[in-house]
Structure 1
Amino acid sequence: MANKVYNSAAEALDGLLHDGMLIAAGGFGLCGIPELCIAAIRDSGVKNLTVASNNAGVDGFGLGVLLESRQVKKMMSSYVGENAEFMRQYLSGELELEFNPQGTLAERMRAGGAGIPGFYTKTGVGTVIAEGKEHKEFGGQTYILEEGIFADLAIVKAWKADTTGNAIFRKTARNFNLPAATCGKVCVMEVEEIVEPGQLDADAIHLPGIYVHRLVQGKHEKRIEQRTVRKREAS
């Protein structure tokens, strides 16, 4: 069996990066972000990237790092409201945006991973989302055609995995890491802990190792996107 474990994100991405590629990135808000891979992509200097991700990170963290270095030419996202640099680049015409309803984006990734080139959905009918897309009626209802996402590379982050790539995502991180991992021609996964085969409960595995090509273990920063606390009550 081929060794999937690499010593660093840079090593795991070696030979996979090129200008103009499409990358599917996992993460939800600031949860489950493949930050080690993002840093390695920044350091590689590749440019004109298209990135499919639920969000664009925040200023100085997550995909916001690649926006600041001007390596991203287009984002395919559903929520981008926490990144001032993203807003500046988009409003100035420096950055392209393909806006997707959140469920549609997740399904486009899942469809790509399942080899499905397209599907029909009611979400977005009658809005700007539907402009330029095929419309079709089913049961008297109008649907629009959305295309599956087939990425050149998927970068995702898991909580725990074995050396074959069987992985467990923790809580909210499961949302987009799972479909993103499946839709890439190659999937590089960073993990908080790598264990030996057989040490994970088979019924707890979210992603089979067949989808994962390269693994790297590392330390990850735990951030809170919006910290909300109540005022201390007077004693």
Structure 2
Amino acid sequence: MNKIYGDAASALEGLLFDGMTIAAGGFGLCGIPENLIAAIRDSGVKHLTVASNNCGVDHFGLGMLLDTKQIMKMISSYVGENDEFMRQYLSGELEIEFNPQGTLAERLRAGGAGIPGFYTATGVGTKVAEGKEHKDFDGRTYILERGIKADLAIVKAWKGDEQGNLMYRKTAMNFNPDCAAAGKVTIAEVEEIVPLGTLDKQAIHTPGIYVQRIVKGEFEKRIEQRTTRAA
């Protein structure tokens, strides 16, 4: 089975449809699948539900899909550095399902592990808990959170081999392993495709069994907030 595709658009071929749910790895601009996001924009697919920690920044990353109004709903932990995200939410153009950050990560992990739901004390007594099942364990109240299983997962890795085994680099690991497992189909864009057997088996973060397609990308790697010390 050949998992390697020539570019992001061909890797997405046959997978996109209006109203689908996409799990997108990354945290702000760190470790985001830049090429796949741009190809999704160019495809014109719409009414998307996107599960991702946040929506990047204005006009880049997932922010590009906000510009084109292709996202209908975000499942996120915060708005971040994105004015258009905030504007669309406050104007009622965009639905947001806010999640505590750890809860979102666990929802994605649970979806990838085949766990339909789990109980957590995080969010009890807040708006996060409204409309959710409550249950007491050992004298403490917990709420039921559902696992997330996406129609498609898009992730960015440092290295990948021809079977889709992936390694992430440092903090770019963030939500990528959880998203990779949560997709019914997962596409990984990588900085380098290496021969099978090259990766240290103990250093593989996402086994290839979770990855159906892989593409080598070119990356801008923008910095969200550049901070420098005085000379």
TM-score range for the pair, normalised by the shorter chain length: over 0.9
Residue in 1 that maps onto 2:73: 74
Aligned to 2:175: 176
The aligned counterpart of 1:139 is 138
1:113 counterpart letter in structure 2: G
- The 5-angstrom pairing of residues 64-143 of structure 1 reads 64-143=63-142
SS of equivalent to 1:172: helix
Q: How many residues align?
A: 231
CA offsets 1:130-180 (integer angstroms, 9 cap, x no match)? 000000000000000000001000000000010000000011111100000
Q: CA deviation at 1:81?
A: 2.1
1:158 aligned partner: 157
Structure 2 CA distance, aligned partners of 1:158 and 1:230?
A: 30
| Secondary structure class of the residue paired with 1:33 | coil
Describe the SS at the equivalent of 1:197.
Answer: coil
* Distance in structure 2 (CA, Å) of the matches to 1:14 and 1:199: 29
| TM-score normalised by the chain length of structure 1 | 0.97
Q: What corresponds to 1:149 in structure 2?
A: 148
Deviates more, 1:94-103 or 1:79-88: 79-88
Q: For 1:17, what is the secondary structure of its paired residue?
A: coil
Task: List runs of 5+ in structure 2 lacking aligned partners.
Answer: none
Query: Secondary structure at the residue paired with 2:59?
Result: coil
CA distance in 1, matches of 2:173, 2:192: 16
* Root mean square deviation of aligned Cα: 0.6
Aligned to 1:196: 195
1:90 alignment partner, SS class: helix
Contact 2:56 2:80 in 1 (8 A): no
**Letter of the 2:17 counterpart:** H
**Which residue does the alignment assign to 2:6?**
7
SS in 1 for 2:174: helix
Deviation at 1:66, TM superposition (A): 0.2
Q: Distance in 2 between matches of 1:56 and 1:37?
A: 14
1:82 match: secondary structure: coil
* TM-score with structure 2 setting the length: 0.99
Give 2:216's aligned residue: 217
- Aligned-pair identity in percent equals 74
Task: After the TM superposition, list the runs of 4 or more consecutive aligned residues in structure 1 that deviate by more than 2 angstroms.
Answer: none
